[in-house]
Structure 1
Amino acid sequence: MPAIPPPANLPVVDYAAAPGGFPADPDPMSTVRLREGLHPTAKVGAYDAPGGKPRAFLTPNLAGVPLTVPIVERRSGWAGVLLPSANRTLAWVPPGNWETVALRDQLVVERKTFRLTWFRDDKPVQTWRATLGTWETPTPLGRTFVLGRSTLVGKVYANTDVFALGAVPDDPDAVPAGLRGAHIGLHTWYNDDTLGKNVTDGCIRITKSGQRKLLEEIIPGTSLVVVDKLPAATPGPLTGG
Structure 2
Amino acid sequence: MTDGEVSGAPRSGTRASRTRRAVWITLAVVVLVTAGIVTALLLRPAVPAASEPTPSPSRSAGPTPPPTPTPTPTPTGFPANSTVYDLAALSQIDVFAVNAGLPIDDDPFGALTGEAATSIGDGAPVFGDPVGQPVGFLPREYTFGGTTAPIIERQEHWVKVLLVGRQSVPSQGNPAQVMGWLRTKDVAIAPLDALVEVDLTARTIDIVRAGVPERIATDFASGTSDTPTPLGRTYVMTTLVEPSFGYTRGYPLVYLAVQSPTLDGFGGADVAVTAFHYHDERSGSISNGCLRVDPAAIEALAALPAGTPVIVRP
Short-chain TM bin: 0.7 to 0.9
- Describe the superposition over 1:4-32 as per-residue Cα deviations: whole angstroms up to 9, x where unpaired: 544532210112034112223231112x3
Q: Is the 8 A contact 2:234 2:309 kept in 1?
A: yes
Secondary structure of 1:210's counterpart equals: helix
- Describe the superposition over 1:97-151 as per-residue Cα deviations: whole angstroms up to 9, x where unpaired: 3211211111111122222111111211123022101111100011000011111
Change (3 A) 1:162 1:99: same
- State the partner residue of 1:40: 119
1:43-58 correspondence to structure 2 within 5 Å: 43-58=123-138
Q: Distance in 1 between matches of 2:214 and 2:222?
A: 21
- State the partner residue of 2:180: 91
Pick 1 or 2: higher relative contact order, CA cutoff 8 A, min separation 6.
Answer: 1
- State the partner residue of 1:235: none
Q: Which has the higher strand share?
A: 1
User: How many residue pairs get matched?
Assistant: 222
Q: Is the 8 A contact 1:152 1:162 kept in 2?
A: yes
In the TM superposition, residue 88 of structure 1 has moved relative to its aligned partner by 2.9
Q: Distance in 2 between matches of 1:182 and 1:176?
A: 5
Percent identical residues: 23
Is residue 2:312 matched to residue 1:222?
A: no
Q: Distance in 2 between matches of 1:224 and 1:60?
A: 21
- State the partner residue of 1:124: 213
State the AA in 1 paired with 2:117. Answer: L
User: 1:194 is matched with which residue: 282, 288, 292?
Assistant: 282
Change (3 A) 1:179 1:137: farther
Q: Distance in 1 between matches of 2:285 and 2:146?
A: 32
1:63-212 correspondence to structure 2 within 5 Å: 63-65=143-145, 67-86=147-166, 87-128=176-217, 129-153=219-243, 154-173=245-264, 176-178=266-268, 180-189=270-279, 191=280, 193-195=281-283, 197-212=284-299
Change (3 A) 1:81 1:61: same
In the TM superposition, residue 62 of structure 1 has moved relative to its aligned partner by 2.4
1:8-19 correspondence to structure 2 within 5 Å: 8-19=88-99
Secondary structure of 1:156's counterpart equals: helix
Change (3 A) 1:81 1:225: same
Q: Which moved more, 1:130-139 or 1:80-89?
A: 80-89
Change (3 A) 1:58 1:176: closer
In the TM superposition, residue 85 of structure 1 has moved relative to its aligned partner by 2.0
Q: Distance in 2 between matches of 1:113 and 1:194?
A: 15
Secondary structure of 2:92's counterpart equals: coil
Q: Distance in 1 between matches of 2:270 and 2:124?
A: 28
Q: Distance in 2 between matches of 1:64 and 1:113?
A: 31
Q: Distance in 2 between matches of 1:78 and 1:124?
A: 30
Q: Distance in 1 between matches of 2:237 and 2:153?
A: 19
Q: Distance in 2 between matches of 1:51 and 1:177?
A: 39
Q: Distance in 1 between matches of 2:271 and 2:104?
A: 21
Q: Distance in 1 between matches of 2:223 and 2:84?
A: 41
Secondary structure of 1:225's counterpart equals: strand
Q: Distance in 2 between matches of 1:179 and 1:68?
A: 23
Q: Distance in 1 between matches of 2:196 and 2:146?
A: 20
Larger Cα-atom Rg: 2
Q: Which runs of 5+ in 1 are unaligned?
A: 229-241
Q: Distance in 2 between matches of 1:56 and 1:27?
A: 22
Q: Considering only aligned residues, what root-mean-square deviation do their CA atoms show, in Å? A: 1.9
